Chain A
Amino acid sequence: MTLAASSLTPGFSDAVHQSQAVFRCALTALSRPGQWATVPHLPPAPAPLSAAAAAMILTLADMDTPLWLDPVLSTPEVTGWVRFHTGAPLVSLPEQAAFAVIADCAALTALDRFSLGTAEAPDLAATLIVQLPPQDATSPARTLTGPGIDGSLSLTVSGLPDAFWADREAFAPLFPQGVDVLLTTPEAVCGLPRTTHATLTAAG
């Protein structure tokens, strides 16, 4: 199926400086896990790809980074947009991906589908860019600890299945292997690197 040129939305209007600013936002997010950072430049992304996730893709992906889009995102508009703006090879298997973009959060289970890297080269692990559904405050808070966090902090995120959190904790003994996650709302990003431990905050 070919993509009509007229339906292709633009990327960054100033690729050099906007990708620098978005990278610093991603760097802040991963070095200070659990704290939301506002994405400074939001490109007009084709639905269902969110603007914040699109900004991360434009900033980090290129022909060297196999990219996996989950089934919800594998529309001709999104794949065409990613191919045109980044040239990233789109892969069909999650384990081949350097970056995986997920819109269907409920299906974000079995994180071992993705590359965890190896003990000798843990940097080959995948980075997951997750588009969260609209947030409500009904989900339980989690207490985060680990590098980048001064003591501990509380994070409330709704829309992620329990299996997601359970898998992350199951990977902890495998460290340095693991996956790094960038959670996104339409305009902000929050990092959950593999070093961050999340436990359900005890009631009371």
Chain B
Amino acid sequence: MTDTGYNYAYLDEQTKRMIRRAILKAVAIPGYQVPFAGREMPLPYGWGTGGIQVTAAIIGQDDTLKVIDQGADDTTNAVSIRRFFARTAAVKTTEKTVEATVIQTRHRIPETALTENQIMVYQVPIPEPLRWMEPRETETRKMHALQEYGVMHVKLYEDIARFGHIATTYDYPVMVNDRYLMAPSPIPKFDNPKLNNSPALQLFGAGREKRIYAVPPYTPVKSLDFTDHPFEVQRWDDCCALCGATDSFLDEVITDDKGGRMYVCSDSDYCGDRRAAGHVGPQGVDADAYQRATAAE
């Protein structure tokens, strides 16, 4: 059911044109943050206002939209954004990564490999990777213009000096096409390698900070590191308790107050697909047995 009383995809046409022009310039200058006139959206900053504006500007009736929040399709933010576009843009929605043409995400990249026919839209809280070191926009602009990124290496070095390793685990800074330092949004560094040379177009929208940036398909994206401290992703000793996956990003779930815990895939679609295909983790239930049990209830 599509709501009437709004323009298609909520935003008015002039706003969409403005955002579309910003997106095209963002694609032409990979990793550069293009300012745009971000609008007030019917939800608070921090809930994906930037991502929603990007999605609203690109989405059409032929698209199939998937929305994930920390990898899951069934969390509040994901459900409400999916419903927002189903109501205002009459768009098909899905929880299957392979069916989606547009994937709006908060802080994860799906485990299933992306294709050329997909566009990723990231929700970004702080688009400026240098902001914690340099609060002035006038200065960070100059630093990007001059490719003056020494402070970021110093920050990573301070991690090594203090902890013996680079302790940054999410929003891990990357160099795009060997030119612009970019915040990949707070995805775990586990996902950073997926940014590199991706066949999918990747768009980033920051609503409060009013910036749009992009990584075109097949663009080199390198996580910053040092030759003696190379970039590494997180590893787990456990596998997913439900599907047994050892190659996916795992969330730790506390199960009682006696130290009990389990690790499960953060990507709910990936985990569900694996279980449907017959993979069973140590605490998982065989998919057929589960269906028999729920049917009996």
Do residues A175 and B179 form an inter-chain contact, with CB atoms below 8 A? yes
Q: Mark B1-41, 1 if CB is under 8 A from A, else 0.
A: 00000011000011011101111111111101011000000
CB within 8 Å of A: which residues of B?
A: 7-8, 13-14, 16-18, 20-30, 32, 34-35, 57-62, 116, 141-142, 144-146, 177, 179-180, 199, 201, 214-219
Do residues B17 and A60 form an inter-chain contact, with CB atoms below 8 A? yes
CB distance from B11 to the nearest CB of A (A): 11
Do residues B216 and A65 form an inter-chain contact, with CB atoms below 8 A? no
**Interface hub of A24, A64, A123, A151 (most chain B Cβ within 10 A):** A123
> Which of A11-19, A104-112, A155-163 sits within the interface?
A11-19
Do residues A176 and B29 form an inter-chain contact, with CB atoms below 8 A? yes
A26 within 8 A of B: yes
CB distance from A6 to the nearest CB of B (A): 27
Set B7, B18, B29: member contacting A123, Cβ < 8 A: B29
Do residues A19 and B32 form an inter-chain contact, with CB atoms below 8 A? no
Q: 19 interchain pairs (CB within 8 A)? A: A20-B58, A23-B57, A27-B27, A30-B27, A31-B201, A62-B14, A62-B17, A64-B18, A119-B145, A121-B141, A122-B25, A122-B29, A122-B32, A123-B22, A123-B34, A149-B218, A151-B218, A175-B179, A180-B25
Asked, given contacts A31-B216, A62-B17, A195-B177, whether A176 binds B24 with beta carbons under 8 Å apart, the answer is no
Q: How far, in whole Å, are A75 and B41 apart by their CA atoms in the complex?
A: 42
Q: Which 10 A-B pairs have the closest CB atoms?
A: A193-B28, A119-B145, A147-B219, A123-B25, A148-B216, A147-B216, A20-B60, A180-B28, A120-B145, A123-B34
Do residues A27 and B201 form an inter-chain contact, with CB atoms below 8 A? yes
Asked, given contacts A120-B142, A123-B32, whether A148 binds B218 with beta carbons under 8 Å apart, the answer is yes
A21 within 8 A of B: yes
Size of the A side of the interface (Cβ < 8 Å), in residues, is: 38
**Interface hub of B7, B27, B215 (most chain A Cβ within 10 A):** B27
Do residues A24 and B28 form an inter-chain contact, with CB atoms below 8 A? no
A150 within 8 A of B: yes
Write out the residue numbers on chain A whose beta carbons fall within 8 Å of the beta carbon of B116: 32
A59 within 8 A of B: yes
Write out the residue numbers on chain A whose beta carbons fall within 8 Å of the beta carbon of B201: 27, 31
Q: How far, in whole Å, are A127 and B24 apart by their CA atoms in the complex?
A: 10
Asked, given contacts A176-B29, A193-B27, whether A59 binds B17 with beta carbons under 8 Å apart, the answer is yes
Write out the residue numbers on chain B whose beta carbons fall within 8 Å of the beta carbon of A150: 199, 217-218
Name which residue of chain B comes closest to A127, CB basis: B24
Write out the residue numbers on chain A whose beta carbons fall within 8 Å of the beta carbon of B17: 19, 59-60, 62
A194 within 8 A of B: yes
Name which residue of chain B comes closest to A64, CB basis: B18
CB distance from B68 to the nearest CB of A (A): 22
Write out the residue numbers on chain B whose beta carbons fall within 8 Å of the beta carbon of A176: 29, 32, 145, 179-180
Asked, given contacts A30-B27, A31-B201, A194-B29, whether A17 binds B8 with beta carbons under 8 Å apart, the answer is yes
Q: How far, in whole Å, are A118 and B142 apart by their CA atoms in the complex?
A: 11
Name which residue of chain A comes closest to B217, CB basis: A148
Write out the residue numbers on chain A whose beta carbons fall within 8 Å of the beta carbon of B214: 31
Write out the residue numbers on chain A whose beta carbons fall within 8 Å of the beta carbon of B61: 17
CB distance from B251 to the nearest CB of A (A): 32
Other A-B pairs, 20, CB within 8 Å; known A32-B217, A176-B29: A19-B17, A20-B60, A23-B57, A23-B58, A24-B60, A60-B20, A60-B24, A119-B146, A120-B145, A122-B29, A123-B25, A147-B30, A147-B177, A147-B216, A147-B218, A148-B217, A148-B218, A176-B32, A193-B28, A195-B29
